[in-house]
Amino acid sequence: MPGGQRRYSMDELNRLLQSGQLNDGQEAVVLYARVSTKKQADAGNLDRQIERLRQYARENGFTIRAEFTDVASGLNQKRRGLANVLKLAEQGEYKKLIIEYPDRLARFGYEYIERHLRYCGVEIIAIAEKEPEDVNSELVRDLLAIVTTFSARLYGARGGRRVRQGFRELIVGVERDEKAKKEGNN
């Protein structure tokens, strides 16, 4: 303006605010939670996990840019939530990714994801110090999934079905043993 003032339209200000160029001084973060099975999600584990992440963000004064969740194995490479986490990082939309445990992000290859996010300028914050005891049974399921996949490739679909059935029976046995062990400790 002739008097040395500048005027901006509301549309322009909103566009700038959405792009992250202007902010309210709080650091933008993304939350990511994952459980392995629908049974865990139905039991409320995913909701409780994301609520713990929200609480951590609030307590530390972060602005939550987005929340992503997956119900899938940590070995599954086709997780929509994780893909979105990476996409926003590549676009420079946030600076911190908040997760509960490193294995929530990836069972194997965590270091590669961490390196990629660091390259994008994103720091990963894992808020929990100790993993829950049921992580061992989840790890057993993931390892059995790996063996099943390779067996199916080696022995064909028919042999893979037999191998999968054998592993299902093994998993049931492991879970039964863990349950008995827990009941014995109580």
- Active-site residue numbers? 36
Among 120, 71, 126, 70, smallest CA distance to 97 is for 126
**Segment (H or E) for 50:** helix 45-59
Distances (CA, A) of 171 to 23, 135, 164: 49, 14, 10
Residue with the two structure tokens 């409320």: 44
